[in-house]
Structure 1
Amino acid sequence: MPLASLVAGLAIVVLTSCASSEGAPSEGGSPSAAPASSPDRVSVVASTNVYGDIARQIGGDRVDVVSIISDPSQDPHSFEANAQTQLRLSNAKVVIENGGGYDDFVDTMLKAAGNPGAQVLNAVTISGKTAPPGGGLNEHIWYDLPSVGKIADQIAAAFGKADSMGAAQFTANASAFKAKLDTLVKDEADIAATAKGQGVAITEPVPLYMLEACGLVDRTPGEFSEAIEEGGEIPPRALRETLALLTGKRVAALVYNEQTAGPETEQVRQAAQKGGVAVVPVTETLPPGKDYIGWMTDNIAAVRGALSR
């Protein structure tokens, strides 16, 4: 889900410092005052706790990570910046953003922070993903495991540049992280070997990279998922066609972004349940108590379970 619509509002918040007295969300997801970065650690700011967790796994105790968005119940469109987040960006050595129009607020805040020396890692740029001819870019890079492996390498390199004494540790941690990713890639391939192009429905394109890696085909009318993602009005015909996929049980599963539920998506979810179609909930940020690998393991297992029904 793109967050570009937040940029103007964020600029006002940043420049006037009319922010809440609460600090940036902590890595665990609960709001707390953003602590000052330890002088002997690399200060890292990530746009979401997805990248924050990956940074933590690679950096270990040599980095100090703050994630700007970390609440899985929060619609990213409702995000509001605060002065403490701005302060952390002004001192950050490494900033990790998704890019692709998803979290443009990071660039806006970083520019206002006046921190030209920060190393800024853009996940979309690192992935090499581009929009297909005549289509739009799917910016939800963190659901594409090979891209996440590339991002891990770049994070390790950035940390090594900021802390040369820890470079070997960062590289080793990134290798260990990528070994876990390889296991998940194999799990996706195993599903794809038996999925045989089965169709699925989605509410938003958030999990599409994972579903495609599992050999599944999105049957949802593009107008429906695009309208949900952009917060626009859903054409009645697109809603009817989406509902028909579920009531007629013409897809194996509905993969449902529970982080941005609304009346239409709830209607679709209920249609799936009544039609006997498995519902696979996904989110855009880490659930409480999960790290990235555990989260993706659960998502892939949920897809496998839905297909076995």
Structure 2
Amino acid sequence: MNTSLRHHLIASVIGLATAALSPALLAQTTAPVKAVASFSILGDLVRQVGGDRVAVDVLVGPGSDAHVFQPTPSQARLVGQAQIVFSNGLGFEGWMSRLLNTASYKGRHVVASRGVKPIHAEGEHDHKATGGHHHEENDPHAWQSVPNVMAYVGNIAKGLCEADAAGCNTYQKNAVAYNAELKALDTDIRATWAVIPATQRKVITSHDAFGYYAHAYGVKFLAPQGVNTDSEASAKGVAQLVRQIKQEQIKALFVESISDPRLIAQIGRETGVKPAGELFSDSLSDAQGPATTYVAMMRANTTALTQAIQGH
């Protein structure tokens, strides 16, 4: 066989082999979209929608408090290299605009809560214990309502489609599937609370992070701290809260995973109510905990809350 014919045959075989590669296999060779999410809960939502096409880095990891976060130079570099950045918005990440400027970030910035109707710190639930602070402050913890997170998912899918048009069909399918899971979660949470009389749905938590949960599921939350853990609980506010716990015989007292437990322990001593455990408000748990994903977090919190109220 002459050299020319041999080269022609080799080229033909390579061409046939390349043509035989499935689109799925070719997609796997594409470098994933580089995404950065501001905190662990949002990072999980981006992963649910992005799937294998998106590599997600989280700035404020499990167990850490985004309210008091201080970005490091290495995190600024990470943001500078990202194709898309996701933040919660509603004032949750007061440091985000400075970080984007420091990183000279020119890519897409998606505010996941876009379109969600905010509630104020003084809103649908009781905030007497805050000592009257934060009257006009938006509550940023919108993810505590599952229907709100379904809106987050739509914003995430739209942002990823704009950053990676080739993967848009995948992102849209993932979003539809995940929203179906979220709808089932919302139904389950409502059914769990339905057996508890409205007058008994009263809970004490470390800081005012559950306003959207309260509004969505008909639960009354009281907290010694406001919506931002960087604020101090006033002595007057704590004293009012202690009196209210005694008067209303509230039995569900929780510390949050990101909070200093000493204040809740003090309230427990003064009221005789033993803390019922830990809730996850602003952060997922580590890999060994019960709240490794958003769905797991909402289920774990709902179980803990309802069992404490029912005295289990």
Give, in whole Å, the separation in 2 of the partners of 1:217 and 1:109: 36
Higher alpha-carbon deviation: 196-205 or 49-58: 196-205
Give, in whole Å, the separation in 2 of the partners of 1:262 and 1:294: 23
Contact 1:246 1:271 survives alignment (8 Å): no
The within-5 A match list for 1:110-259 is 110-116=100-106, 118-131=107-120, 135-195=136-196, 196-197=198-199, 198-219=201-222, 224-226=224-226, 229-232=229-232, 234-247=233-246, 250-259=249-258
Contact 1:249 1:275 survives alignment (8 Å): no
Q: Deviations over 1:150-171 (max 9, x none)?
A: 1111111111122222111111
- Compute the displacement of 1:270 (Å): 4.3
- Compute the displacement of 1:213 (Å): 2.5
Gap change, CA 1:252 and 1:228, over 3 Å in 2? farther
- Compute the displacement of 1:271 (Å): 4.6
- Compute the displacement of 1:122 (Å): 1.5
Segments of 5+ residues of structure 1 without an aligned counterpart are 1-37
Name the aligned partner's letter for residue 109 of structure 1: L
Contact 2:207 2:225 survives alignment (8 Å): yes
Gap change, CA 1:247 and 1:271, over 3 Å in 2? farther
Contact 1:97 1:103 survives alignment (8 Å): yes
- Compute the displacement of 1:277 (Å): 6.7
Gap change, CA 1:182 and 1:248, over 3 Å in 2? same
**SS state at 1:127 partner:** coil
User: Match of 1:305?
Assistant: 307
User: Match of 1:282?
Assistant: 280
**SS state at 1:90 partner:** helix
Gap change, CA 1:246 and 1:128, over 3 Å in 2? closer
Give, in whole Å, the separation in 1 of the partners of 2:42 and 2:227: 26
Give, in whole Å, the separation in 1 of the partners of 2:262 and 2:279: 16
User: Match of 2:85?
Assistant: 95
User: Match of 1:13?
Assistant: none
Higher alpha-carbon deviation: 48-57 or 135-144: 135-144
Contact 1:44 1:95 survives alignment (8 Å): yes
Give, in whole Å, the separation in 2 of the partners of 1:150 and 1:214: 17
Gap change, CA 1:242 and 1:279, over 3 Å in 2? farther
Normalising by structure 1, report the TM-score.
0.76
Q: Deviations over 1:226-280 (max 9, x none)?
A: 2973432x333321222234455622412432312154233124456x3357455
Give, in whole Å, the separation in 2 of the partners of 1:109 and 1:291: 26
Q: Deviations over 1:39-67 (max 9, x none)?
A: 72111111101111111111111011100
Give, in whole Å, the separation in 2 of the partners of 1:298 and 1:46: 23
Name the aligned partner's letter for residue 46 of structure 2: A
User: Match of 1:291?
Assistant: 293
Name the aligned partner's letter for residue 83 of structure 2: K
- Compute the displacement of 1:192 (Å): 4.0
- Compute the displacement of 1:86 (Å): 1.1
Give, in whole Å, the separation in 2 of the partners of 1:189 and 1:174: 22
Aligned-pair identity (%)? 21
- What RMSD over aligned residues (CA atoms) do the two structures have, in Å? 2.6
- Compute the displacement of 1:89 (Å): 1.1
Segments of 5+ residues of structure 2 without an aligned counterpart are 1-28, 124-134
**SS state at 1:125 partner:** coil
